[in-house]
Each structure stands twice: as C-alpha cells, then as structure tokens.
Structure 1
Amino acid sequence: MPPPPKLPPLITSPRIKLRDGRHLAYSERGVLRQNATYKVILVHGYDTSKDIYLPLSQELMEKLGLYIVTYDRAGYGESDPNPKRNVKSEAFDIQELADQLQLGPKFYVIGMSIGTYPVWSCLKYIPHRLASVSLIVPVINYWWPCFPPKLVNREFE
C-alpha cells in the first residue's frame, strides 16, 4: 500500500505572489521598513529557512536603523517550489521581493552558506539594484582555476 500523499505545509507567514504565480514566504525584523536606513534581504542556506537565527538584538537594529527581511527560497518552508529554478531566477525572485516590499531602487543583500549563490546571481543579473552585498561562509571550490594557489596551500596546511 503506497504511503499517503504529503500535505502542503501550513501557511502562517506573510507571502508575496510572484509574476509567475508562485508565492514566497518572508519574515521581517528590525525597524519598520519605511523608517529604515538600511534595508537588507538575507538569503538562507541549505536546510534552513526564513527563520534563520541572526544574533542581532532589537536594540542594535534600532540604533542602526536596520530592517532585515528573510525569505524562504523557492521550494523551502512556506514558499512554492520552482521547477524551472536556475541561477538567474534566484536573482529575479529577490528583485521581485524587494519591489513588492517597496525597498527602493537599491537594497543590501546578505547570503549565508549556500545562500551565497543567489547573491552571486544578483551581482550578475541585477547589480544596478544593489547597495552592497555580503557573503557569510560562502561555499567555495578550492580547485577553481581562479582560486589563488597560495590560499589553497595555506588552507590545507
């Protein structure tokens, strides 16, 4: 007897509807979006979600005027999967999120772990929208031809 079909996750978070009909779930932290000095989109890595832990106190975020939105990437958590997902689509999901949340013409993006790939995608496809980017624990390949040999040798010592 086959197992019963999986039920979709219970939707408890706010979501935006993308142009292709999919939904992205998101979570907001920090100061109110309209009062923020810095509007940041944080991209989670593998096996995490929009609820990723970021050790910033509300007090610090208020002092800095920091607004952070995290979202469930396509197929994670409460976001719909994207069977056609590719490097380019990741950047445009981020751009649509920024547009629908009215983050302005430029915004900041932080990628964590495997979430750095969508940030690289933003650098390639929507650089005109980025105020700045940051990569936290980026996934790298030590055998990339462009990776400096001195760093490879130091890493493997």
Structure 2
Amino acid sequence: MVDGVRLRDGRWLTVEEYGDPGGSPVVLLHGTPGCRFGVVPQDVLAARPGVRFIAYDRPGYGGSDRRAGRRVADAAGDVAELADHLGLGRFAVLGRSGGAPHALACAALLPSRVRRAAALVSLAPPDAPDLNWFAGMTRSNAEDYTRALTDPLAFAERLAARAADIRSDPAQLLVSLRDGLTDSDRRIVADPAVTDMLLRGYREALRTSAYGWLDDNLALLSSWGFDPAVITRPVLLWHGAQDTFSPVGHFGWLADRIPRARPVLDPDAGHFGAIPALPAVLDWLCPEPASS
C-alpha cells in the first residue's frame, strides 16, 4: 500500500507498507542511493506473515520532498512523525548501508519508541575518534567522499550526471560498483530477485533528481547530530569482514561504542552479504513471542 505523510514543516514523505497490517511494525531505512523499494527482497517480506513493514523515501529521493542541509539525526524526527501518522506505539527499525546510520539515529533519539534496531554494513561517524575512516575503503568511494568534502559543487554536478545516466539505465550503478564487489557480492547481486530489487530501487530513487543522493552523502560526511554511545536500546550490528564500501573498522568502532550492541561479523561476506542475512536479522528484530 502506497501512502504518504504531510509533515509539520510542510514536506511530503512517500511511504509504502508491506505485510500484515496488524503485525509487529518494522520501519525500513534504505541505502544510498535508494528508496522504499530497495531494503528487503519480496521473498523475505512474504516469509514474515506476522510483520508490518513500513518503508519510506528519505527526503529528496523518489516521491519525498527534499530537505536541504539535513543531518543523519533528522531521520528520527521524520520517523517519529511517520509513526504518529500510522498510529504506531513502539516499533523496530532496520537500516542497511546508508540507511544504517539513520536507524542508529532513531535508536538514539527515540528511545521510548524504538524497541530494537538493526544496522547492517553501517559506516561510522566521520569524526569517530581513533578511526582511520578511509582505511580499507574501495578507491571509488574514497574518491567520491573526498570530492564531496573538498569540492561539494563539483561533487553535486558529478552526481547529477550519474543520476541522469542511471535513470536511463539503472544497471550502470551496479557496473560502477564492480571494483568494490567481492566474489560473494557478485553472486548475490547476480540473483535475479536481488538484481530486480536493486534496479527498481535505483530507478525510483533518482527519477526526479540526485538531491537525495547528494544530501545523504553530505549528511554521512558531516556531524551526525548524535553520539552512538547514547543509544540505550538493543542494537544488532551486522557486517561483512570483506566489505570495502563500509570497511570493517567502522563496524569495530560502533561495536565498541554502542552499549547494548550485539555485533555479528561474517568473515566471508562483503557489502551485499547483508541481503541474505536479513531473515536472521528479522528473527532477532521481531522474536516470537515479542519482547523488547
């Protein structure tokens, strides 16, 4: 079911729900670039009949209005308003890749609402003490992030051109990621169901502009607006040790920083290993019987 929320500041947030309307609610936070389509494959959604999945396009993506200058922390306010609109009391949050820091923001800033949080292949904050932020990162990502920091105008122009190309052929984004994919990543991405999910998500994410992609990157590279150390809710951190998009050092830093973190490190997985890990992650997020 596709819906939307008119937020208090006048912005429109596009929302889509899946699964059981009376089930345990899980708010999904998509990757970068991404949208409401690209978090959990359809077969995984269908295999969770007792779960109510709620996905939305972050500002500037898909059908959601832009919020220029947004921080990672601002996701918590949007999710809180979304939850109020849907009549949710407490809920879980799940974020993958660029969505993972936004899930951590919800856990940090909405402790009375978030039951549990899962952050898969997350980056750490750019100002993380004692972390070499670029160590182990694929060259293309490191170059893009460096350009965003040193010449944001040129970075914005580059993303706009890439977004235009991806609108005509979404597979180009997967091609551009090849230098950072492990062998296991390539097998996962080659699965037709995963390929279809990713390409559909990229096409929708960038169909109007590259603003969501730009604002995500700038938010991830700026102060997040919260310290992960203040999170009091249980957090599952899942990571692949071979990940070169979100290097494993970021996982170690977060695992040491978040008080109730449950770290899960797959020694053989890369970045897209988070997708086959989703069933086990959802079992933890929505245990039977339900618990906090």
Aligned-pair distance for 1:72? 0.1
Secondary structure of 1:127's aligned partner: coil
User: Which residue of the partner structure matches residue 72 of structure 2?
Assistant: 87
User: Which residue of the partner structure matches residue 69 of structure 1?
Assistant: 54
Residue identity matched to 1:110: L
Q: Do the aligned partners of residues 129 and 146 (structure 1) sit closer, same or farther apart at CA in structure 2, a change above 3 Å counting? A: farther
Aligned-pair distance for 1:139? 1.7
Residue identity matched to 2:85: Q
Q: What are the equivalent positions in structure 2 for 1:75-114 lying under 5 Å apart?
A: 75-104=60-89, 106-114=90-98
Q: Tell me how large the CA RMSD over aligned residues is.
A: 2.5
Residue identity matched to 1:44: H
Contact kept in structure 1, 2:107 and 2:116, CA below 8 Å: no
More helix by share: 2
Following TM superposition, the consecutive aligned residue runs of length 4 or more in structure 1 with deviations greater than 3 angstroms are 140-147
Q: Do the aligned partners of residues 85 and 61 (structure 1) sit closer, same or farther apart at CA in structure 2, a change above 3 Å counting? A: same
User: Structure 2-normalised TM-score?
Assistant: 0.42
User: Which residue of the partner structure matches residue 27 of structure 1?
Assistant: 16
Map Cα deviations across residues 112-154 of structure 1 (whole Å, 9 max, x no partner): 101112122112221111110001111247994366xxx75xx
Q: Do the aligned partners of residues 21 and 146 (structure 1) sit closer, same or farther apart at CA in structure 2, a change above 3 Å counting? A: same
Q: Do the aligned partners of residues 101 and 146 (structure 1) sit closer, same or farther apart at CA in structure 2, a change above 3 Å counting? A: farther
Q: What are the equivalent positions in structure 2 for 1:109-124 lying under 5 Å apart?
A: 109-124=93-108
Q: Do the aligned partners of residues 25 and 121 (structure 1) sit closer, same or farther apart at CA in structure 2, a change above 3 Å counting? A: same
Aligned-pair distance for 1:53? 4.7
Secondary structure of 1:119's aligned partner: helix
Q: Which runs of 5+ in 1 are unaligned?
A: 1-12
Aligned-partner Cα distance in 1 for 2:53–2:73? 23
Residue identity matched to 1:117: P
| Aligned residue among 118, 122, 132 for 1:134 | 118
Task: Report percent identity of matched pairs.
Answer: 33
Residue identity matched to 1:16: V
Aligned-partner Cα distance in 2 for 1:86–1:141? 12
Aligned-partner Cα distance in 1 for 2:55–2:94? 10
Residue identity matched to 1:52: G
Secondary structure of 1:61's aligned partner: coil
Aligned-pair distance for 1:15? 1.0
Aligned-partner Cα distance in 2 for 1:67–1:140? 29
User: Which residue of the partner structure matches residue 205 of structure 2?
Assistant: none
Secondary structure of 1:29's aligned partner: strand
User: Structure 1-normalised TM-score?
Assistant: 0.74
Aligned-partner Cα distance in 2 for 1:31–1:40? 11
Residue identity matched to 1:66: V
Aligned-partner Cα distance in 1 for 2:99–2:66? 16
Q: Do the aligned partners of residues 126 and 143 (structure 1) sit closer, same or farther apart at CA in structure 2, a change above 3 Å counting? A: closer
User: Which residue of the partner structure matches residue 30 of structure 2?
Assistant: 44
Q: Which runs of 5+ in 2 are unaligned?
A: 132-247, 250-266, 268-292
